[in-house]
Amino acid sequence: MTKVSKYPSPLVSLIPVLVLVILLFFTIRIFGSDALGGGSQVCLLITTALCAAIGMAKYGISWGDVERAIVNNIAGVGNAVVILLVIGALSSAWMLSGIVPTLIYYGVQVIHPDFFLVSSCVICAVVSVMTGSSWTTIATIGIALMGIGKALGFADGWTAGAIISGAYFGDKISPLSDTTILASSVTETPLFKHVRYMMYTTVPSMILALLIFTVMGLVHTSGINIQVDTFTGALAGRFHISLWLMVVPLITGILIARRVPSIITLFASTLMAAVCMLIFQPDVVREVAGDGITGAEALFKGTWMILYGGTALDAGAPEVSELIATNGMAGMMDTVWLIICAMCLGGAMTACGMLGSITSMFVRFTHKLVGLVASTVGAGLFLNLTTADQYISIILTGNMFKDIYKKNGYESRLLSRTTEDAVTVTSVLIPWNSCGMTQATILNVPTLTYLPYCFFNYISPLMSILVASIGYKIFRLQK
């Protein structure tokens, strides 16, 4: 690295952040949820260029240093990119093999009017854990549950709050989730080690949320539910529902518990789901392959298309058809693209000393454990508010505090957990954040209407600070 006598002040370092916020504001306002398809990436690259220009023109930082930092940052998430591609194939295989439909089929049937809210939260949590996507869960089963909630007389805010709480619980702890993978990768924490450590704050937060939803459901006077049969009937008509399909999630859970490397676990689970798809859903595979092709060739082509590309099958009910639509590995490319562009920005800000300069503003509060965790939570919330994107916020929070946690002697999993507690679950509570805007549009419920009822989402960051204050399961680096 070039020897530099002076680095940008915190005020100068915040200029690129301010420019990024302005660019994202207009991009998200114009493109809406489609901003992740390219608009946000352009904003990141423009801001990267601004960082490099400031550092090179005013502070004597060489382009070689900026380039090396960018390359190192991108190399650091190479494992995450591979995992994301495997997850794209896995999520499609699990859906069209009938694994996820079977889970939904039996899960939806447990709904009772008195326990509608808590059941909705649990069902969304299970589906989100299985799929690794809160967006997919809310856009599919969430829409169906909103209709059921209206039929039962529940206020939209309560129903949406239960759906979002469950969906983001799964998004946060699922090893299939891109935010989970991103938080573990940015902080250099093994994926399953990160997932297990989050349980200490995530499970208590979810238990409190479920208790609230249970009490509210018991005191609510409800009508008769007539939509469950339609939903389950559409699933049963489209797929062969069988409890034998649950063998795949069971074996996957065993592999995770035995700490098999994440790529191996996910790849093995994908292969098992593909085999189940050929055994239980051969008609679905042939339909994906298209007309004019038969026999083994149709099965081969259909399986490959499901794993790498998108599918859209008619299930007879619009909400079910949307539920079973898949994107395969191709559906992960927007996220991969976004991560690479965000890593360019992180590398430029690191090389130019801007991340270190911004981090210095938090150092005064990080001498004690509670202050360190609270500062991380505050920074994550601030970035969620300013950058309007959870992926960017996770990357910036992880990079800003990585060295501080190491210097204070704490394992990286404390940072990865706190980052998720602060960023992943709160993004949906901000009206101008891509998550908040998308979920409000999908559920047709304003963000400020459902915000008071997303108990899990705002209990999580508070729980993170509480667990740190009592010092429970806080691990320090071994010398």
Pair 415, 359: CB distance under 8 Å:
no
Q: Quick one: pLDDT at residue 167?
A: 92
* 71-87 confidence digits (pLDDT tens): 887 887 777 788 778 87
- Quick one: pLDDT at residue 121? 93
How far lies 147's CA from each of 67, 319, 326, 328, 387, in Å?
51, 10, 23, 28, 33
Domain layout of the chain by residue ranges: 79-331
Spatial separation of the C-alpha atoms in residues 347 and 330, rounded to whole Å: 26
Tell me, what's the pLDDT at 4?
57
- pTM across the whole model: 0.70
Enumerate residue ranges in the chain where pLDDT < 50: 222-226
The pLDDT of residue 112 is 74
pLDDT reported for residue 205: 94
